[in-house]
Structure 1
């Protein structure tokens, strides 16, 4: 049941990271906000990996073409997903943008069963379905037929990209043939480092002004990176221990943290249907925890 603790920790950190990203999106462009998620996380991931090897000895990972492919795929797809998340923040308010992206749980279940050999129990499927309904309710600005088609399409693309990222992270972790948590730590370090190099290299060649703007807002950038690292540590660890659909369905408790942050920090009012959606998330969480 350790995966439950890692998931709850990840959801809490991700809610804060998303809130920080939503505020950064007002000062930086999409690439700048996306890089803010990874920039300072690489050294933290390296420190975490080194500490693990000091505490508990383990062999080095067995790198194969397959494992490298999973890492590269996860790194690139997460960059795309994060960029789409920032676009969502610019389309709607914080709660709606993050809510639409949380559709990744049912998407991960569908893709996992079709292409990754994932299996779910009947109760697990019910939990994933109820969680998906909660996200749709949360994401609608009023009645369901008032949803913006553009926002829905961006949200589905974002959630699909996050789902693929999670599935490839799990496959990468399993392919390294290492004990937990060393396997998750190696994938975490590899993915974040590759993402940092790709985005920093792009900005150095094409948009140095954004790097300068990130330096101006360096305190918030560093805090975003810290929360991103802690969140990714939780997600990668949980997904190394449990199937992605279960992790992501339980991870929808982020909605609870998100609503608190929206109300107390971003001063956004909660709606009645948000509370109903939160109740559904609670039911879904119970179903996947005790499937």
Structure 2
């Protein structure tokens, strides 16, 4: 009987699916994306706690202001220890990095705003329309391709996310698609735009390893974001910068976790289509449910469990069918 490696069609369908899943798991972008999703969820939880002592934009700024020095130090250490040379920056890199950076700042601010109006699971779930929007941005801006099977897997996950995010009470269901829901969807679109922009920036660099290009992109973007949001705070909330600095014990953790999560995202974007990366990032829903249960002591309903199973099915399909 021919081996699995020969690609024989005589391999039973179920066994072939298991073999394909095992093969896909060996692709490095998959564990990197799962790590990024975990770190993103942890950073969101830390920012929600930080919101009690800072304004919406102060808590948003913590992610970038405290991440930028760490990203620059990481880049310097990488260049020093490996002897590699940083590739020259180009106009596409600069424009894509700045566009993605601004989109991410706005999306993060919107998400933190939602934390004040909906529970952690619902607030985050509304942004999970992001993979669909990312796919559209990728097709239009980068010429990326998404197969019908992958699109189906993304839609299955999206249905699961919607089930998770529907409020349990009647009044909540009546107001489900309110202004805050639209803000969440808009945030998802901006996160999707930033993902595609970061992929475009990293791919525009002519030389260097995947990790070096991702680190350069991270260092540039976070530095730009830190400068931009500090300037914004100075104009809009002059005293908030001092409160942000005074909250360094909590805010520094947001910066560290955010920097590590962004590094993982940027590396995955350099390796793979941003829509596939963000779709696999739906695994964050599992971490999100865990945060609701064990950190914020929020109840999880049976319907939400069904939603989690659909998200899981979509992720399995994505891993099996992604090219």
Consecutive unaligned residues of structure 1, counting only runs of 5 or more, are: none
Q: Distance in 1 between matches of 2:180 and 2:138?
A: 25
The 5 Å alignment of 1:22-101 reads: 22-101=48-127
Q: 1:155 aligns with which of 184, 189, 195?
A: 184
Preserved CA contact (<8 Å) 2:79 2:86? no
Q: Distance in 2 between matches of 1:269 and 1:226?
A: 29
* Aligned-pair CA distance for 1:219: 1.5
SS in 2 for 1:26: coil
Q: Give 1:288's aligned residue.
A: 318
Q: Give 1:17's aligned residue.
A: 43
Q: Give 1:176's aligned residue.
A: 205
Preserved CA contact (<8 Å) 1:177 1:183? no
SS in 1 for 2:239: helix
Q: Distance in 2 between matches of 1:212 and 1:50?
A: 28
* Aligned-pair CA distance for 1:106: 1.1
SS in 2 for 1:208: coil
Aligned residues: 291
Consecutive unaligned residues of structure 2, counting only runs of 5 or more, are: 1-26
Where in structure 1 do 4 or more consecutive aligned residues deviate above 4 Å? 143-146
* Aligned-pair CA distance for 1:213: 2.1
- TM-score, normalised to structure 1, is 0.95
Which is higher, the Rg of structure 1 or of structure 2?
A: 2
Q: In 2 relative to 1, CA 120–148 (structure 1 residues): closer, same or farther, beyond 3 Å?
A: closer
* Aligned-pair CA distance for 1:278: 1.1
Question: For residues 198-250 of structure 1, what are the alpha-carbon distances to aligned partners after superposition, in whole Å with 9 as ceiling and x for unaligned?
Answer: 11123234423212322343211111111111110111111110101111111
- TM-score, normalised to structure 2, is 0.86
Q: Distance in 2 between matches of 1:242 and 1:139?
A: 28
* Aligned-pair CA distance for 1:114: 3.1
Root-mean-square deviation over aligned CA pairs:
1.6
Q: Give 1:238's aligned residue.
A: 268
* Aligned-pair CA distance for 1:58: 3.2
* Aligned-pair CA distance for 1:188: 0.5
Q: Give 1:247's aligned residue.
A: 277
Q: 1:115 aligns with which of 116, 141, 155?
A: 141
* Aligned-pair CA distance for 1:113: 2.0
SS in 2 for 1:181: helix
Preserved CA contact (<8 Å) 1:134 1:280? yes
* Aligned-pair CA distance for 1:93: 1.0
Q: Give 1:191's aligned residue.
A: 221
* Aligned-pair CA distance for 1:148: 3.2
Q: Distance in 2 between matches of 1:202 and 1:37?
A: 15
1:166 and 2:192 matched: no
Question: For residues 130-151 of structure 1, what are the alpha-carbon distances to aligned partners after superposition, in whole Å with 9 as ceiling and x for unaligned?
Answer: 1211222222214766513212
Q: Distance in 1 between matches of 2:223 and 2:205?
A: 17
Q: In 2 relative to 1, CA 57–290 (structure 1 residues): closer, same or farther, beyond 3 Å?
A: farther
